[in-house]
Structure 1
Amino acid sequence: MSLPEQGKRDTHGSAPDSGASGTCGAVSGARAPDTSTYLIDADAARGIAVRALSAHGVDDEACALVADALVETSMRGVTTHGLRLLPGYLDDLARRIANPAPRIAVVRESGPSALLDADAALGVVAGTAGAREAVRRAARYGVGAVVVRNSNHFAAASIHSRVMSRAGLVGWAMTSASARVAPFHGRDPLLGTNPVSVAAGAGDHEFVLDMATSQVCLGTVRERGRRGRPLDAGWALDDHGHGTLDPALAAALSPLGPGYKGQGLGMVVALLTAGLADAPLDWELDHIEQAGPGGGRGVAHFLLCLDPAFFGGRGAFDGRLRELVDTTRAAPPADGSAVLCPGDPERRSERAAARSGIALDTDTARALERLARRHGLPAPILRPARGEPPLPRHTP
């Protein structure tokens, strides 16, 4: 069997365009590839998200957190983790998998460390609470280490690492995830894509690493399927543990390679999230399309925050960060392509989206139009990108 495809329910909800953490889009070969791109204003997208979340009982602050996270991620060009997730999050709220009014509480604490129970909150809300708690403790102790249990999907890990970096600190964010990745030399999924994000600095010298511990996230595999394109070699395995280039035959993702390194890093994430939280390990977590209503998924997060002022000094750190980034960018290219730092492509995408609008695939554009109509908002202006046809009108 292949990695779960979209049918009646997608991997993050009932809408056919929802997905997350590498779980977006369909891989079914029967579906015609969708290569269309439409543009929506960021404020319009944010307004739709806020209104839709509020209708499910989410309070104003949490609505803003989730909407801003999804819009920011889409603007930064990470389409698998952006606005495409909104219908799935709404479905989680409707089915009470996610708690719209959680009471996030400190279960255990000691100086710079804390364990939080998220009370089945939306993962963006839980992760942000953990990051803010880490910032508070780092400001006092120089380091803040926070583990969050009883949560749901995290969204893009960089959302949470940047909460810490925007406070002038160094942020590290990780999350557990349901099994999608085969271990090195393995055949079947055992580990999650278990992302790692580290963020520091600001402006043109902002460093933002956000990566899965698999070769690619599942969303990239499904996006290739949506567009009718083959996978790159080494990305995925079929049912027999053989490499496949066909998105529809992908039964497991390959760990970041070569060799055992991606598996090892994925296991580190599992230890620091589920292990420290006494939460389900990756293979014990339900896939989102299989989760039953009425309870959170038991996802665990790890947030680490460091204040440079307690170490070599804030000014020294900022100087070294600028030197690191500038020297890396100035490195001679081997093939004519510029050398980039983590976060550079996303920053360029964000600036372009601020000028021209957020790029959406047809399904996500239609989903936002449906949500706008359902909640009494003006239909968003969904401008086709150059060369694309106007968005076909869809009747619910």
Structure 2
Amino acid sequence: MIFQTFTEQQLRSFTEAVFLKMGCSDTHARLAADVLLKSDLRGIDSHGVARLSGYVRLWEKKRINSRPDIKIVHQTATTATVDGDAGLGLVVAPFAMELAIEKAKVYGSGWVSVRNSNHFGIAGYHSLMAVENDMIGISMTNASPLVAPTYSSERLLGTNPMCYAFPAGAYPPVVVDMATAAAANGKLEIAQRADLPIPEGWVQNKQGHSSTNAHELKNGGSLLPLGSDKDHGSHKGYGLGATVDILSAVLSGANYGPWVPPFVAFLEPPSDPVGEGIGHFLGAMRVDGFRPAAEFKTHLDNWIARFKSSGTIDPSKKVIIPGEPEYLSEQQRREKGIPLIDAVVKDLNELAQKLGSHTLS
């Protein structure tokens, strides 16, 4: 694969300009670009600027509202439901997390469900907003159905990621950010662009047999839940994905299960929706609602240090703390730049030319 490397500012300026061309406000364009850049900086290339053309195509299909009127439609002291007005999930989810944080500041915790939204980028971005306030952050979203539950040949769930983030002291935050499928669809897209096979256990074909073809979903196949198959604990991934779907959508009034609209513009949403848009669920809990924050951070540092010093089965390997690879990637890419494969650069430049925006250089 051939890569080109760009500075964070190059990609940030480019991405903001595209969102402005979509009609987003300056504030929303900056925020949406920030969410995508956070993904690229943290090495989650599948959810960064490579997704930009997908948002534009949905906007062109009038499935994304670039000027949403985001509203609280129901709330109590500690909970709320937000209607995203079909806006970018990249701006709707931060609105909801800010609301959860404000509630947590007063009452110790805040919980917000969201309906009528779109793809919200990496879950980690939203959970880390709470960490910045000495809170534990929780974020999750449902997604278009690509995953077959255990024993099923039908796509009924999305990759449905969930993230838990915890503030530490001397160490970076612990960030558990993962899809509840065996792999995120974005990883298949990366393999497709590079024309590479995918690992066994990620997908099944339409007959239910394991496949290493990165294009299998186009042939009627499906992603598998976390755990891969019935013999390797797929019921656990299925259960986690179901939990995300229920909290994000059944609770908020968004579409759930097979009714979640697709992220790709050439596929039409189901004609019999059971809700509005896709759904998210976000939460913030004040650490000092349980014990003094400094004490918690000291003990989380101790937890991290003990795990990092663990004996390993391979002397060349070390135990990795959740979020550590992404943190190290962010430090490195801020300094050395963000690599993009040529196929992504070509796609972005064609997008810019179509919109009359500046290209990457």
Write out aligned runs for 1:143-162 (5 A). 143-162=109-128
Structure 1 residues 96 and 249, CA, compared in 2 at 3 Å: closer, same or farther? closer
Cα contact 1:52–1:375 (8 A) shared by 2: yes
More helix, by proportion: 2
Paired residues of 2:149 and 2:224 also in contact (CA < 8 A): yes
Query: For residues 262-281 of structure 1, what are the structure 2 equivalents within 5 Å?
Result: 262-281=237-256
For 1:95 and 1:265, locate their aligned partners in 2 and report how far apart those are by CA, in whole Å: 32
SS in structure 1 at match of 2:99: helix
Q: Which residue of 2 aligns with 1:51?
A: 17
- 1:232-265 Cα deviation digits (max 9, x unpaired): 2211100100111222334111111132100011
Q: Given residue 342 of structure 2, which amino acid in structure 1 is its aligned partner?
A: T
Return the offset for 1:376: 6.9
- 2:87 corresponding residue in structure 1: 121
Moved more, 144-153 or 218-227: 218-227
Q: Is the 8 A contact 2:172 2:327 kept in 1?
A: no
Q: CA deviation at 1:227?
A: 2.4
* Cα distance in 1 between the residues matched to 2:199 and 2:175: 25
The residue aligned with 2:284 is: 305
Matching of residue 168 in structure 1 with residue 168 in structure 2: no
Tell me if the contact between 2:114 and 2:254 (Cα under 8 Å) persists in the aligned partners: no
Q: What is the CA distance between 1:297 and its match in structure 2?
A: 6.4
**Secondary structure at the counterpart of residue 121 of structure 2:** coil
Distance 1:378 1:265, change over 3 A: closer
CA displacement at 1:367 relative to structure 2: 3.3
Q: Which amino acid aligns with 1:139?
A: K
1:69 to 32, 35, 43: 35
Q: Distance in 1 between matches of 2:33 and 2:210?
A: 38
Q: Does 1:352 align with 2:318?
A: no
Paired letter, 1:147: S
Instruction: Report the Cα distance in structure 2 between the residues aligned to 1:148 and 1:373, rounded to whole angstroms.
Output: 34
Instruction: Work out the CA distance in 1 between the residues paired with 2:357 and 2:239.
Output: 48
- What is the percent sequence identity of the aligned residues? 31
Deviation at 1:92?
Answer: 2.2
- Deviation, 1:67, is 0.7
1:235 corresponds in structure 2 to 202
What do the CA deviations read for 1:171-191 (whole angstroms, capped 9, x no partner)? 000001111111112222111
Query: 2:164 aligned to 198, 202, 206, which one?
Result: 198
How far did residue 311 of structure 1 move?
1.0
Corresponding residue of 1:28 = none
2:330 maps to a residue whose letter is E
Please point out which of 301, 324, 330 is paired with 2:303. Answer: 324
Q: Are the structure 2 counterparts of residues 182 and 143 from structure 1 closer, same or farther at C-alpha, using a change threshold of 3 Å? A: same
- Across the aligned residues of Structure 1 and Structure 2, the Cα RMSD in angstroms comes to 2.0
Matched, 1:291 2:268: yes
Q: Deviations over 1:71-96 (max 9, x none)?
A: 12111111100011111212222332
Q: Following superposition of structure 1 onto structure 2, how do residues 81-230 of structure 1 map, counting pairs within 5 Å?
A: 81-201=47-167, 204-230=171-197
After superposition, the Cα gap between the structure-2 partners of 1:105 and 1:232, relative to the gap in structure 1 and judged at 3 Å, is same
Cα deviation, residue 286, structure 1: 2.4
State the shift of 1:288 in Å. Answer: 2.5
Q: Label 1:245 to 1:132 Cα distance change in 2 as closer, same or farther (>3 A).
A: same
Structure 2 unaligned regions, length at least 5? none
Distance 1:93 1:234, change over 3 A: same
Please give the alpha-carbon distance, in whole angstroms, between the structure 2 residues aligned to 1:269 and 1:378: 39
Deviation at 1:209, TM superposition (A): 1.3
Give the CA deviation at 1:142.
Answer: 0.5
Q: 1:332 to 1:222 in 2, by over 3 A?
A: same
Q: Which amino acid aligns with 1:224?
A: A
Alpha-carbon separation, structure 2, partners of 1:362 and 1:343:
27
TM-score calculated relative to the size of structure 1: 0.83
CA distance in 2, matches of 1:176, 1:264: 13
Cα 1:325–1:287 change in 2 (3 A) is same
For the 8 Å contact 2:127–2:139, the answer to whether it is kept is: yes
1:123-156 Cα shifts (integer Å, max 9, x gaps) = 0111001110000001111110100111011111
- d(CA) in 2 for partners of 1:130 and 1:254? 30
Distance in 2 (alpha carbons) for counterparts of 1:183 and 1:305: 30
> What CA deviation, in whole Å up to 9, does each residue of 1:328-383 have, x standing for no partner?
111112112111111111111112211221110112212333455567766543xx
- Residue 204 of structure 1 aligns to a residue in which SS? coil
d(CA) in 2 for partners of 1:249, 1:145: 37
**Aligned to 2:222, which of 252, 258, 265?**
252
CA contact (8 A) 1:182 1:191 kept: yes
**Residues 185-230 of structure 1: CA deviation (Å, up to 9, x unaligned):** 2222111111001112267331111100011111212322332332
2:115/2:276 contact within 8 Å kept: no
Is the 1:97–1:297 Cα contact (8 Å) retained in structure 2?
A: no
* 8 A contact 1:51–1:375 mirrored in 2: no
2:317 aligns to what?
Answer: 337
